[in-house]
């Protein structure tokens, strides 16, 4: 990446962050009128407009490129429309759930949203780049992956800035991977919009939330971009699978451990990874920093600088780090509990 491109990308990143922050503030003021509010942990009403702000920024950015770009942009416009069509159903489903707030909303809307996205993509000429779409046995797996990871990232919105930080780390890991010229602008602009939102969702000082509209949309976008990025790499199928599992290791770990703990202690409330670490004395800033590094920069370092055979171990290394921190936090929480009892 030459200096001119890098400067241009940094400017685009800053503009995206500024627009997202300003738009988030405007929508925060309108959250009552839009009926996008919910009761926060402190009992106060919390605006659920972060996802709406991010989506509007992405949509306007796409319209700007479509209307004002004169020079041909290669495969960009064979990719961007599919990306938008892919995230819109999840955004609308989450937005409806934020407004209606009924358990059946997501349950009834998930499968049509998933099916529409993949059917649209299979019926076009995109075909996931190097993916052989005629392998029908892969379609159910892709449908399940989309459903699982859109829900997994949405579930990460359990603490200030947690879901957005995980997606931000993922996309920051993608930016410098070679052979992504048709996605470069998107991989710079979306992190900028997420950062603009995060300025208002700081740990301990959150003023807005993503809401289900933002969580489901970012989860779908994360899976879509990860899968497409893996297919675009000129590597074997084993490395493509390792690529997907490495960059999606954290939401997978959080969801699976949360389910296992729920089954083991059925009466306990939902217990996320961030909750467990904070019980052990980890600050939310530290938890978010760890998640950011493990979601993107560490997998990128494995992929970019280590032999491909070692990259196969990357998902297991990330899960090992997550498990180590999990066990450490549990031990610290138990020691703290025993100390308070003895006192």
Lowest mean pLDDT among 16-30, 120-134, 142-156, 291-305: 120-134
Cβ-Cβ contacts under 8 Å for 271 (sequence gap 6 or more): 258, 261, 262, 265
Q: According to the model, what pLDDT value does residue 130 have?
A: 39
pLDDT at 164: 94
Confidence of residue 328 (pLDDT cuts 50, 70, 90): very high
Return the percentage of the chain with pLDDT > 70, whole number: 79
72 band by pLDDT with thresholds 50, 70 and 90: very low
Query: Residue 113: is its pLDDT beyond 90?
Result: no
Do 213 and 69 form a contact (C-beta atoms < 8 A)? no
Per-residue pLDDT at 123 = 60
Residue 1 has a pLDDT of 52
* pLDDT for 2: 53
**What is the overall mean pLDDT for the chain?**
82
Does residue 134 register a pLDDT over 80?
no
Distance between CA 177 and CA 120 in Å, rounded?
A: 27
| pLDDT value of residue 103 | 67
Lowest model confidence (mean pLDDT) among 8-12, 59-63, 128-132: 128-132
Q: Are 109 and 96 in contact (CB under 8 A)?
A: yes
Strand partners, 276: none
Ranges 48-57, 111-120, 132-141: which has the least confidence: 132-141
Query: pLDDT-derived band of residue 270, with 50, 70 and 90 as boundaries?
Result: confident
Taking residues 282-308, report their average pLDDT.
Answer: 93
Judged by average pLDDT, the poorest of 32-36, 238-242, 264-268, 302-306 is: 264-268
Lowest mean pLDDT segment, chosen from 70-84, 212-226, 268-282: 70-84
Q: What per-residue confidence (pLDDT) applies to 309?
A: 87
Span of 43-47, 65-69, 203-207, 223-227 with lowest mean pLDDT: 65-69
* Per-residue confidence (pLDDT) for residue 64, from 0 to 100: 81
User: For residue 183, which of 83, 109, 296 has the smallest C-alpha distance?
Assistant: 83
Residue with more model confidence, 71 or 159: 159
The answer to whether the CB of 50 falls within 8 A of the CB of 200 is yes
């Amino acid at each position: 990446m030459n200096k001119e491109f890098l400067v241009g990308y940094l400017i685009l990143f800053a503009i995206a962050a500024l627009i997202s922050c300003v738009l988030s503030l405007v929508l925060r003021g309108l959250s009552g009128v839009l009926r996008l509010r919910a009761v926060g942990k402190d009992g106060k009403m919390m605006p659920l407009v972060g996802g709406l702000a991010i989506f509007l920024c992405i949509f306007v950015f796409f319209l700007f490129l479509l209307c004002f770009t004169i020079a041909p942009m290669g495969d960009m416009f064979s990719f961007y429309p599919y990306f938008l069509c892919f995230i819109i159903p999840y955004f609308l489903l989450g937005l409806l759930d934020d407004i209606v707030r009924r358990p059946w909303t997501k349950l009834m809307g998930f499968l049509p949203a998933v099916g529409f996205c993949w059917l649209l993509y299979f019926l076009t000429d995109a075909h996931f780049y190097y993916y052989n779409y005629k392998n029908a046995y892969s379609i159910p797996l892709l449908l399940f992956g989309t459903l699982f990871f859109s829900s997994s990232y949405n579930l990460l919105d359990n603490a200030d800035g947690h879901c957005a930080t995980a997606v931000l780390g993922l996309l920051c890991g993608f930016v410098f991977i070679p052979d992504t010229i048709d996605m470069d602008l998107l991989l710079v602009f979306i992190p900028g919009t997420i950062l603009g939102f995060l300025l208002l969702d700081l740990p301990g000082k959150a003023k807005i939330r993503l809401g289900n509209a933002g969580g489901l949309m970012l989860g779908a976008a994360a899976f879509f971009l990860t899968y497409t990025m893996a297919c675009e790499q000129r590597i074997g199928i084993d490395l493509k699978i390792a690529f997907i599992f490495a960059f999606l290791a954290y939401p997978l770990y959080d969801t699976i451990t949360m389910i296992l703990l729920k089954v083991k202690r059925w009466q306990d409330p939902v217990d996320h990874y961030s909750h467990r670490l904070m019980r052990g004395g980890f600050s939310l800033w530290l938890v978010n920093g760890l998640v950011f590094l493990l979601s993107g920069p560490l997998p990128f370092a494995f992929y970019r600088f280590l032999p491909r055979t070692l990259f196969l171990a990357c998902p297991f290394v990330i899960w090992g780090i997550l498990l180590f921190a999990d066990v450490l936090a549990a031990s610290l929480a138990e020691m703290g509990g025993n100390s308070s009892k003895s006192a």
